[in-house]
Chain A
Amino acid sequence: MNPGPLTDLMEPTGVPAGWEAYGDERKPRMGFFTDTSVCIGCKACEVACKEWNLIPEDGRVWTGESYDNTSQLGANSWRHVAFVEQRKPLYEGASDENPLRWLMSSDVCKHCTHAACLDVCPTGSLFRTEFGTVVVQEDICNGCGYCVPACPFGVLDQRKIPSTLNVGHKPDLPPIGPLERGEKKDGRVWKCTLCYDRLKGGHEPACAKACPTKSIQFGPLDELRERADARLGKLAAEGWNAAQLYGRDPDDGVGGFGAFFLLLDDPEVYGLPPDPVVTTRDLPEMWTNMLAAAGALLGGITVLTLLGGRRK
């Protein structure tokens, strides 16, 4: 096999593999900058996403985890607003007897520069679009589920309920529950498409459009990165506590996010990995290692058989 193309997976080039192939059809790389310092936790993004993409309801479980009843990204929630209550002041050194801040952050697929889900997909259902985003093709996905554990952010998941469940005007449908007998689960894997269809039509993604405070900003990635740097500088000047950009730089483990964030605390506080790495970065090494093992197996068996000598 040709290790050539593999090695460039390891290079933090910041250029998404598979994107150049579009040649002149290639569009500027689009993405999200989610600025959590202005997120009011209204969840408009979650609803806008579901309305546009006709995603089935994700169940009605009250969690007791602040105002978050969505809990995590998954096949039926492509935006998830996290709510974190902390006994910390919003501004550094603010003199407050009992400091308190309420962090809110709208999580989404990161559309990684080096996307594990995309790499491991065996069918080519997951692909890199002309906008540099990563999309699951629902007409191709056969639900093998490989991308699910491959994603370092736990974004993708298999839809275990029927696709149509509680979508739109369907009075006969039951609320989310265990599958009825004979009811067929969708079985495919779903995630944020960065509204691929809307982008093709020249519209901004539904969540970004809805966001009341423009905590979710959509645009060409380079532009967003500049904006983010300026924003971080401003917050630093205003003394915001632990403000930091997450996934902004092309030299991180996934070559930078297509959808990156401004957080007000470390990533793990929001349920995000502090140092995500695209698993396929180590694939060439793994392949070589495997070939060695295979050789050893071949040799080993032969040797062991020979030990007994030829039988007449």
Chain B
Amino acid sequence: MPSLGTSFGRGGATTFQQDLQNADCIVIMGSNMAENHPVGFQWVMEARERGAKVLHVDPRFTRTSAMATKHVGIRAGSDIAFLGGIVNYVLQNDLYFREYVEHYTNAPVIIREEFADTEELDGLFSGWDPEQGEYDVQTWMYEGMEVHGSAGQREEGFNATKGEQSGHGGHGGGLQHGEPPAEDKTMQHPRCVFQLLKRHYQRYTPEFVAETCGCTVEEFVQVAETLAANSGRDRTSAFVYAVGWTQHTVGVQMIRCAAVVQQLLGNIGRPGGGIMALRGHASIQGSTDIPTLYNILPGYLPMPHTETYGDLEHYMQANTSPTGWWGHFRAYFVSLMKAYFGENASDENDWLFESLPRIDDDNSVYFTVEQMLKGKVKGYIIAGENPAVGHANGKAQRLGLSRLEWLVVRDVVEIESAAFWYDSPEVESGELKPEECATEIFFLPAASHTEKDGSFTNTQRLLQWHWQAVEPKEDCRSELWFYFHLGRLIKQKLEDSEDERDKLVKALRWEYPTHSGILEPSAEAVLQEVNGWEIESGKFLSGYPELKDDGSTLCGCWIYCGCFEDGINQTARKKPHWEQDSYVANQWAWAWPSNRHIIYNRASADPDGKPWSERKRYVWWDGEQGKWTGLDTPDFEETKEPHYVPPDGAAAEDAIAGGHPFIMQADGRSWLYVPQGLEDGPLPTHYEPHESPFDNPLYSQRANPRRQQNDLAEDPYNPVDGEPGTDVYPYVVTTYRLTEHHTAGGMTRSVNYLSELQPAMFCEVHPDLAAEVGLENGGWATIYTSRSAIEARVLVTDRMRPLRMKDGRTVHQVGLPYHWGKRGLVTGDSANDLAHMVLDPNVHIQEVKAFTCGIRPGRRPRGADLPRFVAELRERAHSRREQDPRVEPEEVRKTTPS
């Protein structure tokens, strides 16, 4: 999560679910917590019972809204307008936590003169390169910040941290010592971050919010007031978000904007505060920490890039920050290489850096689908995921799979992604014929969580071990078994290969003890490698400070270092909460980093190290013992005094002053303004969704200029405001999940007791919209976009409030759960078939939370009529690819230099 990473230093929730009970106000936005995280929601209810205000700001009135003390309906995709409004309200009315902002954030820092804001450039920041369609971030830097060496190297240094990499702090902060060169503690300097913020958001007035989001001025003010009134020394407020924010072309910036609000109100690193990122899958946090992502190595170390890193030294220089904990980048990297390659990786051969594979700017899953459609991908392995239903533009996904040479699908049931070749909308419409599909498919049954040992990292960075209960039956196997034995077989085949190409795979350390008849590898042995040990003595490491850059330590993921401290599986600790001294329960499982639950918790104390207030004490400086202490493990060097001032030439963590809680950041502060690490700007700005019936009320720059589009015939876009044919797709559509089902449904449409609770695909519409198009509750509707058309049962409900927008326009929103597909006990059309594949530039996540559609009564056409029906509408809409390509404002700008 680059948003949180760039703002605070680590790409994870800043707090933990149980701590929500201490909040005085909880803003749930971009999340439907009661429905999608029901058990975690108990802590919100605890807070409500203690008198906390629970505010739900969401396009829909959901089961969360029903529990909230106040629900405010806004137009899908207008979140930054709302949050920016709060920033402006807080600044204009001096409601911010002055002392916190001054000492703990980069508000006083002065930015380079060359920087120009969107307010000056009509929706673009300085450094926009029309040809490349991307930003040169030079001008965004801190004033007087020394640029890495020569021009040549500059490029290396500064495009380094992108996407998930920056998801873990601005690596190459570029600061030569802990303090930014130019600051104005009074925060009056016109180019200091604080003043930039003020100017950037000055137009986000309550009236602007109301007409952009579709709420009333009163509703907005009530939220802003309540939030501000419950923040400060003695009170704290928390933000809760989920994919309702991430799945936008400005997803990262939405979260960033919440981060700005929370910094101004002084709610980070404190009990009852923070930003609770709710992840959707058992170990989705874990799968970014120990990534199955193209652009990072375990612990958010960047993958080598084709263009950027010539050799190890460049790589090091680009990613090692002279100050803060990224100062030890080399130790993290070298220890990982030792874990991967053992003695084969040595100082002499640069730890095999030269042989590592290189990535391009975007090799993400949607890029891969593009490549599949173009026939460039031959083989694909899918383990526990269902792109045919769960990913945007299901048709493109399925057609992509149909153009592979071979495909491996591992799951518990036969999911749509395994059955697309004989049972899919494309087969139904004749666009795909089994006898013409060349893909060779292996379906391998997987083991369930009860049939294997292993650890999940939950939404609050907590690694929890689960023990095997029963043996998997017949051919069912764990992924651990599959990938271990696959690797073993491949290494066998390449044993005698002299080919340079096979050097790296042959160098892999691939020895893991196995047990039971099926030769299941030991998950604990793998976790031990993740934790790491001292190679000489074989002693397990107790934390990342022990990592060495000379190859004497081995560690598979530096941020997880300590999870096997003293040779004990810390993640398997199950001490009942009632036997623990505080609600933090830090003897239950193990949280990264170093078992810290609220991170940056030094900020729960004032600059002198005293709690901001008795009511909100959490971690503080104990003068007698000369160390930090409190309810949680201090997220700070234990004995570093509150008033420690780094000596000149201090490096790494020693360069961080005792008053700066954000120890991953080069300057030890949280970033209101992000000088580097983000693709689309240092400050969040309101842009319209890629597909929207409205124009940007602020700028002629309608949508995020940096958003990723593609040129696939399979992925046409609907016209937007001001274009011909907008009326064909006049409604805003948003997709979501229900309590009763899980994502693409593979894990729930296979269960009787869940299938019967939500047995059919349906759409939610307001009575007015129903009347407008003639929909009847309980009947059928056909929903269509340029991509496809699906049918759904109609649920007419007041919960889908129509919103009054600027100049009195009313916008209707259509709600679509996306759980259904053609397989399983209950089946139905897939909402994702309607979605496009336009992405956020930082994390390449698709925008399925806000796009446009048309809707009409009745069931959809069958067979070959379906694509015809979709095509006819598309033609009528002059949609892109059929007619002249749409001219985007930013494309206009390409010809007219700004």
A85, B216: Cβ atoms closer than 8 Å:
no
Residues of B within 8 A of A58 (CB): 756
Scan residues 54-84 of chain A and give those whose CB is less than 8 A from a CB of chain B.
57-64, 66-67, 69-70
- Bound Cα distance A60, B71 (Å): 32
Per-residue CB contact flags for chain A residues 209-234 toward chain B (1 = under 8 Å, else 0) read: 00011100000000000000000000
- Bound Cα distance A207, B530 (Å): 39
Residues of B within 8 A of A51 (CB): 753
- Bound Cα distance A101, B62 (Å): 10
Q: From B62, which residue of chain A is reached at the shortest CB distance?
A: A102
State whether A69 and B798 are in contact (beta carbons under 8 Å apart), knowing that A41-B66, A60-B825 are contacts in the complex. Answer: no
A69, B794: Cβ atoms closer than 8 Å:
no
State whether A57 and B45 are in contact (beta carbons under 8 Å apart), knowing that A85-B797, A101-B66 are contacts in the complex. Answer: no
Per-residue CB contact flags for chain B residues 715-757 toward chain A (1 = under 8 Å, else 0) read: 0000000000000000000000011100000000000111111
Residues of B within 8 A of A175 (CB): 825
**Counting CB contacts under 8 A, is B759 at the interface?**
yes
- Bound Cα distance A38, B801 (Å): 23
**Counting CB contacts under 8 A, is B34 at the interface?**
yes
Interface size on B, residues (CB 8 A): 40
Q: From B64, which residue of chain A is reached at the shortest CB distance?
A: A40
**Counting CB contacts under 8 A, is B694 at the interface?**
no
State whether A62 and B759 are in contact (beta carbons under 8 Å apart), knowing that A43-B739, A100-B798, A212-B41 are contacts in the complex. Answer: yes
B798, A85: Cβ atoms closer than 8 Å:
yes
Which of B38, B755, B757 sits near A40, CB closer than 8 Å? B38
- Bound Cα distance A106, B754 (Å): 17
Residues of A within 8 A of B793 (CB): 62, 64
- Bound Cα distance A110, B39 (Å): 26
Which of A64, A67, A97, A214 sits near B777, CB closer than 8 Å? A64
**Counting CB contacts under 8 A, is B344 at the interface?**
no
- Bound Cα distance A215, B194 (Å): 46
State whether A40 and B798 are in contact (beta carbons under 8 Å apart), knowing that A57-B756, A175-B825 are contacts in the complex. Answer: no
Scan residues 84-98 of chain A and give those whose CB is less than 8 A from a CB of chain B.
85, 87, 97-98
B799, A100: Cβ atoms closer than 8 Å:
yes
Which of B38, B61, B216, B760 sits near A62, CB closer than 8 Å? B760
Q: From A56, which residue of chain B is reached at the shortest CB distance?
A: B752
Residues of B within 8 A of A59 (CB): 756
Residues of A within 8 A of B777 (CB): 64
B757, A100: Cβ atoms closer than 8 Å:
no
B797, A42: Cβ atoms closer than 8 Å:
no
Residues of B within 8 A of A104 (CB): 63, 66
Q: From A68, which residue of chain B is reached at the shortest CB distance?
A: B757
**Counting CB contacts under 8 A, is A166 at the interface?**
yes
Residues of B within 8 A of A50 (CB): 753
B61, A100: Cβ atoms closer than 8 Å:
yes
Residues of A within 8 A of B42 (CB): 212-214
Q: From A87, which residue of chain B is reached at the shortest CB distance?
A: B798
- Bound Cα distance A64, B770 (Å): 14
- Bound Cα distance A102, B61 (Å): 9
**Counting CB contacts under 8 A, is B326 at the interface?**
no
Residues of B within 8 A of A43 (CB): 739-740, 757
A109 to chain B, nearest CB (A): 19
- Bound Cα distance A235, B778 (Å): 35
Residues of B within 8 A of A97 (CB): 216
**Counting CB contacts under 8 A, is A46 at the interface?**
yes
Which of A42, A47, A103, A214 sits near B35, CB closer than 8 Å? A42
A169 to chain B, nearest CB (A): 10
Q: From A213, which residue of chain B is reached at the shortest CB distance?
A: B45
Interface size on A, residues (CB 8 A): 37
**Counting CB contacts under 8 A, is A9 at the interface?**
no
State whether A64 and B35 are in contact (beta carbons under 8 Å apart), knowing that A100-B61, A102-B65 are contacts in the complex. Answer: no
B845 to chain A, nearest CB (A): 27
Which of A60, A166, A212 sits near B826, CB closer than 8 Å? A60
Residues of A within 8 A of B38 (CB): 40, 42, 44, 212-213
Which of A41, A42, A102, A166 sits near B799, CB closer than 8 Å? A102
Residues of A within 8 A of B740 (CB): 43
B218 to chain A, nearest CB (A): 8
A40, B759: Cβ atoms closer than 8 Å:
no
Which of B757, B798, B826 sits near A98, CB closer than 8 Å? B798
- Bound Cα distance A176, B752 (Å): 10
- Bound Cα distance A38, B45 (Å): 8
Q: From B777, which residue of chain A is reached at the shortest CB distance?
A: A64
- Bound Cα distance A62, B756 (Å): 8
**Counting CB contacts under 8 A, is B795 at the interface?**
yes
B63, A40: Cβ atoms closer than 8 Å:
yes
Per-residue CB contact flags for chain B residues 806-830 toward chain A (1 = under 8 Å, else 0) read: 0000000000000000000110000
Scan residues 31-70 of chain B and give those whose CB is less than 8 A from a CB of chain A.
34-35, 38-39, 41-42, 45, 49, 61, 63-67
Which of A42, A62, A212 sits near B762, CB closer than 8 Å? A62
**Counting CB contacts under 8 A, is B758 at the interface?**
yes
Q: From A170, which residue of chain B is reached at the shortest CB distance?
A: B752
Per-residue CB contact flags for chain B residues 686-720 toward chain A (1 = under 8 Å, else 0) read: 00000000000000000000000000000000000
Residues of A within 8 A of B41 (CB): 40, 212-213
B63, A57: Cβ atoms closer than 8 Å:
no
A65 to chain B, nearest CB (A): 9
B756, A69: Cβ atoms closer than 8 Å:
yes
Per-residue CB contact flags for chain B residues 779-817 toward chain A (1 = under 8 Å, else 0) read: 000000000000001110111010000000000000000
- Bound Cα distance A103, B798 (Å): 13
Residues of A within 8 A of B739 (CB): 41-43
- Bound Cα distance A58, B754 (Å): 11
Q: From A168, which residue of chain B is reached at the shortest CB distance?
A: B752
B864 to chain A, nearest CB (A): 28
- Bound Cα distance A64, B779 (Å): 8
B63, A70: Cβ atoms closer than 8 Å:
no
B36 to chain A, nearest CB (A): 10
State whether A57 and B753 are in contact (beta carbons under 8 Å apart), knowing that A69-B758, A104-B63 are contacts in the complex. Answer: yes
B532 to chain A, nearest CB (A): 37
- Bound Cα distance A70, B758 (Å): 9
Which of B63, B64, B755, B778 sits near A60, CB closer than 8 Å? B755
Residues of A within 8 A of B65 (CB): 102
A196 to chain B, nearest CB (A): 21
A47, B754: Cβ atoms closer than 8 Å:
yes
B280 to chain A, nearest CB (A): 16
- Bound Cα distance A214, B39 (Å): 10
- Bound Cα distance A46, B758 (Å): 13
A255 to chain B, nearest CB (A): 31
Q: From A47, which residue of chain B is reached at the shortest CB distance?
A: B753
- Bound Cα distance A69, B740 (Å): 11
- Bound Cα distance A212, B216 (Å): 33
Which of B61, B71, B216, B757 sits near A69, CB closer than 8 Å? B757
A40, B794: Cβ atoms closer than 8 Å:
no
Scan residues 7-49 of chain A and give those whose CB is less than 8 A from a CB of chain B.
38, 40-44, 46-47
B61, A70: Cβ atoms closer than 8 Å:
no
Q: From A91, which residue of chain B is reached at the shortest CB distance?
A: B69
Residues of B within 8 A of A44 (CB): 38
Residues of B within 8 A of A212 (CB): 38-39, 41-42
- Bound Cα distance A62, B819 (Å): 15
Which of A38, A46, A101, A213 sits near B757, CB closer than 8 Å? A46
Chain A residues close to B by CB (< 8 Å): 38, 40-44, 46-47, 50-51, 57-64, 66-67, 69-70, 85, 87, 97-98, 100-104, 166, 175-176, 212-214
23 A-B residue pairs with Cβ-Cβ distance under 8 Å, sorted by A, are A38-B45, A38-B49, A40-B67, A41-B66, A42-B35, A42-B38, A43-B739, A43-B740, A46-B757, A47-B757, A57-B753, A58-B756, A62-B793, A63-B778, A64-B794, A69-B757, A98-B798, A100-B61, A100-B799, A102-B63, A102-B66, A212-B39, A214-B42
- List 6 tightest A-B contacts by C-beta distance, closest first: A64-B778, A60-B759, A62-B760, A102-B66, A57-B752, A42-B38
Contacts A62-B793, A100-B799 supplied; 14 other A-B pairs, CB < 8 Å: A41-B63, A42-B35, A46-B753, A47-B753, A62-B760, A64-B762, A64-B794, A64-B795, A85-B797, A97-B216, A175-B825, A213-B38, A213-B42, A213-B45
